[in-house]
């Protein structure tokens, strides 16, 4: 079975080798037929501490690394700084 991959935005990098990634999903409400946005935070392993808040990253599920970390950062695009 292939590993799940999600795309999200880094919201926090305060922990060592860990980033918190917000993943947004959109779906249509089954009764009201209105598009709803839901988001969820995932703790992901970032070995080199290279991602900062605002960066777009792709995370992949992995074996448990710690109490909360079950995802690793696969790749990312760093935010353009002005």
Structural domain contains residue 55: yes
Structural domain contains residue 79: no
Inter-CA distances, 5 with 18, 42, 62, 72, 74, Å: 17, 12, 10, 10, 9
Structural domain contains residue 82: no
Structural domain contains residue 54: yes
Q: Is pLDDT of 1 > 90?
A: no
| 25-41 residue pLDDT tens | 999 999 999 999 999 99
Structural domain contains residue 81: no
What is the reported pTM? 0.88
Backbone angles phi, psi at 67, to 5 degrees: -60, -40
Q: How many domains does the chain divide into?
A: 1
Structural domain contains residue 80: no
Determine the structural domain holding residue 53 and report its residue range: 5-74
Between vectors from CA 63 to CA 60 and to CA 73, what angle results, nearest 5°?
A: 30
Element (H, E) at 4: none
**The domain that contains 9 carries what CATH number?**
2.40.50.140
The torsion angle over the Cα atoms of residues 66, 71, 73 and 77, rounded to 10 degrees, is: -130
Structural domain contains residue 58: yes
Q: How far is CA 58 from the centre of its chain?
A: 7
Mean model confidence pLDDT for the chain: 94
């Amino acid at each position: 079975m292939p590993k799940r991959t999600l795309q999200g935005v880094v919201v926090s990098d305060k922990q060592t080798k860990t980033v918190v990634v917000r993943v947004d999903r959109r779906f249509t409400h089954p009764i009201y037929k209105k598009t709803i946005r839901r988001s969820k935070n995932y703790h992901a392993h970032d070995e080199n501490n290279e991602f900062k808040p605002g960066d777009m990253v792709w995370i992949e599920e992995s074996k448990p690394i710690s109490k909360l970390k079950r995802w690793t950062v696969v790749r990312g695009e760093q935010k353009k700084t002005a």
